[in-house]
Amino acid sequence: MPVSRNQKKIFPGMRKDPIKLLIGLGFTSVLALMGLTIFISISQMRTITEQMSATLDETHAKISASSTMRDSIRLRGNILYKMYLTDDYIERDKYRLEFAEKALDYKKARDVLYTFSMSAREASLLNKLMEQTRIAEQLNDTAAESLLSDFPAEKIKADMQKANEARQKMLKGLNSLVSLQEEISHSIIEDTKKHEEVIGGIVSNLSLAAFIMALYIAQLVMKETSRKNSEIIYQATHDELTRLVNRKEFNHQLRRAFATTQTTAKNHALCFLDLDKFKVINDTCGHNAGDELLIQLTQIIKNNIRNHDTLARIGGDEFGLLLEGCSLDKAIEITEGLVRLIKNYEFNWQDRNFSVGVSIGMVMVTPETENIEKALSQADIACYAAKDMGRCMVHVHGLDDDRVKRMHKELSWVADVNNASTNNRFSLQLQAITSLQNRKSLSMYEVLLRLNDDEGTLISPASCLPAAERFRLMKDVDHWVIKEVFKHLSALYRTVPDCGVQLFINISANSLTNNEFTDFITQQYKKYNIAHAAVCLEISEIQAVKNITQTSCIISALRKHNIKFALDDFATSTASFSYIKNLHVDYLKIDGNIIKNMPHYNVDKAMVSAISQIGKVMNIETIAKHVENVFTLNQLKEIGIDYAQGFYLDKPTDINERIEEIKKSVPQRSIKY
């Protein structure tokens, strides 16, 4: 091996001195030996990694086969229950064929499981399970035959009960088998880590003893080994398609969360999500379309849960969701929000649009929860209940009464919406929109809707308007608000012609999809004879994008009459900038969450700055919402945002009181309308 330049510096004159030359050659030999040792270490680690990958693949195959057996058992129970529910013998006979098919699926998965080598514990569990299978198969077949016979109802019910008990024993056995296989998988990973640490230590010690460069090489080796090990662990705990944690890791996270309920008294919500109509897309467009849909829905769900929540793919179109440290009310709010988002989501594939839905079963994990297996079973049952109750809904295990109460509550809100105009249940408030650039402008206010309860107490719109939207009644609410606002504006401008007031009115999705909305607006302008610029109609970005063609038509039709428009909650999605090219609006009201995060995140500040620049280029004025402190206000001024709105600047005031304030302030103002 040739002597390097660095070695010549370390051993000057070694070419002349045989001893120095010998030392140099010896040191070179040490380096060569170290390189050989590193090579051997890498080879060993690669071998260990390959062995672990092969073992993990086998374990995953075992878990998959066991899960298939478990699913077959569960589905046979569901089919048997359907046979029991129907009185049509022809339909029962059809279910009997499906019942037999699921038995074949079970046997195929069992045969696959038998092709693998088994540990003593696995073999013992599997043999015990096979004994239970023989008993359960006979009892299930007996129950199925009873349902196809003229046996008394008592006998049929007794046979069903025996079959159910046998299935539960089989499910318990399969759960134990899957848990054991997961333990084996974790054990393999831990053993591999220990081997890698030993080898890494040897490499590091040799490097430190030989040369700094050897240490650097050892560090590179360890880094590469760690990366490969991380990839293997990631592959072992995550779904390849969606990059979500898989069933095995989800169960591990669930066990960890369950342990915290015993020590911290924190409650968690365990949810099973089952996609509706997914099979239609898979069968119609192929698996590539189904995979793309799963990826898109995964991102939607992740964007609408909390950062510390765990989302997992536990089956083909089934997901698990663990909401840690979550109350029941918050869990219902999150899951019902997911149901609405997925129900309203349109999936486009090769110029075809599809809609899907999701049914969610939920169970609370509390200190009183017996064990994880039971919680998983209850969440699974609740998910099926949600599907049986009509799909696209959330069913909470054990809370049927609360669900009924909430439904009655929503229906009562609907009655309030219908009767609000006659019973004077609605009221309006105005909140000022303040100019930040000291330019002369109109006095701008947003119109806020409030509902009064039976005792006259104000109620948040979030408590009643979702029910009104669900029952397609928001059009009536919009009409009431518009009439009231126009009535107040007409009276104000007759009294104070130069008051220079412009009111922003929110328009719901129900109105945007109503073909008669444009005519209604123009009729109100004629009826109350007010300047068109005195009103600005606000449309949320989400609603506008969802109905972008209809929204664009409404905006184009009304802008011909010089009616102003604002795009509310702007920048809620990454595609926001592309939408405004197709929606000709006068104002962009920036999403309040971005404004609130500006002082803490430079990315949000940069986004607000970009919106300001885009607005100036397109001649659209910008309005910042939810301004809550002077620091945020000063940043907005510096960026160049035109207007701001929030509790720091002005609190909502009853419309009658605000109009009186406007009347009193007019003589002191010099702004002309």
Q: Which residues are catalytic?
A: 317
Q: Which residues pair with 271 in a beta bridge?
A: 321, 362
End-to-end CA distance of the chain: 91
Place of tokens 């928001």: 474
Q: Is 246 left (phi over 0), alpha (psi -120 to 50) or beta?
A: beta
**What is the SS3 assignment for 249?**
helix
CA 520: distance to chain centroid?
Answer: 38
Contact partners, residue 429, CB within 8 Å, separation at least 6: 447, 448, 450, 652, 653, 654, 655, 658
**581: enclosing H helix or E strand:** none
Place of tokens 């119109």: 447
Here the tokens at position 573 are 């999605």
Q: Are strands 352-355 and 346-349 parallel, antiparallel or unpaired?
A: antiparallel
Nearest CA to 176 among 101, 259, 70? 70
Q: Do residues 365 and 375 touch, judged by C-beta distance below 8 A? A: yes
Here the tokens at position 73 are 């058992």
From residue 382, give the alpha-carbon distance in Å to each of 30, 89, 387, 394, 412.
67, 28, 9, 8, 26
Nearest CA to 376 among 163, 136, 162, 67? 67
From residue 88, give the alpha-carbon distance in Å to each of 143, 148, 153, 388, 511.
16, 10, 15, 19, 46
Q: Do residues 290 and 375 touch, judged by C-beta distance below 8 A? A: no
Here the tokens at position 186 are 């974790």
DSSP 442-480: -EEEEEEEEEE-TTS-EE-GGGTHHHHHHTT-HHHHHHH
